[in-house]
């Protein structure tokens, strides 16, 4: 995990604790927390499960550094993180082979859309921003 990601995580935890101390979150801090404006790089099932349980809609991008189409998709994923209320999660399939197998990722890029903690869609290959935004919007409250 990079220093920036750690700082972002610490900031979120601090905000959660402050909210609990003020009592304005009524214990349901996850409900009021906004989604990050950039993709979260996760390593392992525990971090993915944490993101899926924390945010209502999560789009997990299973990618590989050596994959050309994955690199083409990256700016789209970053745009979606900035412009939607869904959390974008990046999963390196080479570093997370068991996790990729768990979600039956057979080729990259593969995106798995989680809504309310459950797998809602699986998309294989590169898709455009409008397609993915429409898919995300259809699962947001």
Exactly one of 29, 70, 111, 112 is catalytic; name it. 70
> Which residue of the set 15, 16, 47, 67 is catalytic?
67
CA gap 123, 114 in Å, rounded: 12
109's tokens: 């890029």
Q: List all residues 6 or more positions away from 22 whose beta carbon is below 8 Å from its beta carbon.
A: none
C-alpha to C-alpha distance for 14 and 19, rounded to whole angstroms: 9
Catalytic residue list contains 43: no
What number of CA atoms fall less than 13 Å from residue 126's CA on the CB side? 11
Distances (CA, A) of 12 to 7, 8, 39, 114: 9, 6, 15, 21
132 an active-site residue? Answer: no
Active site residues: 67, 70
């Amino acid at each position: 995990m990079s220093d920036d990601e750690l700082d972002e995580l610490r900031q979120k935890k601090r905000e959660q604790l402050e909210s609990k101390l003020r009592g304005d979150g009524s214990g349901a801090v996850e409900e009021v927390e906004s989604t990050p404006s950039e993709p979260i790089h996760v390593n392992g099932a525990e971090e993915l499960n944490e993101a899926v349980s924390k945010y209502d809609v999560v789009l997990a991008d299973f990618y590989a550094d050596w994959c050309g189409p994955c690199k083409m998709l990256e700016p789209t994923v970053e745009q979606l993180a900035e412009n939607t209320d869904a959390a974008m999660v990046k999963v390196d399939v080479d570093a997370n082979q068991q996790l990729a197998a768990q979600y039956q990722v057979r080729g990259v890029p593969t995106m798995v859309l989680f809504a309310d903690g459950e797998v809602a869609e699986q998309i294989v290959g590169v898709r455009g921003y409008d397609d993915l935004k429409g898919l995300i919007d259809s699962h947001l409250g």
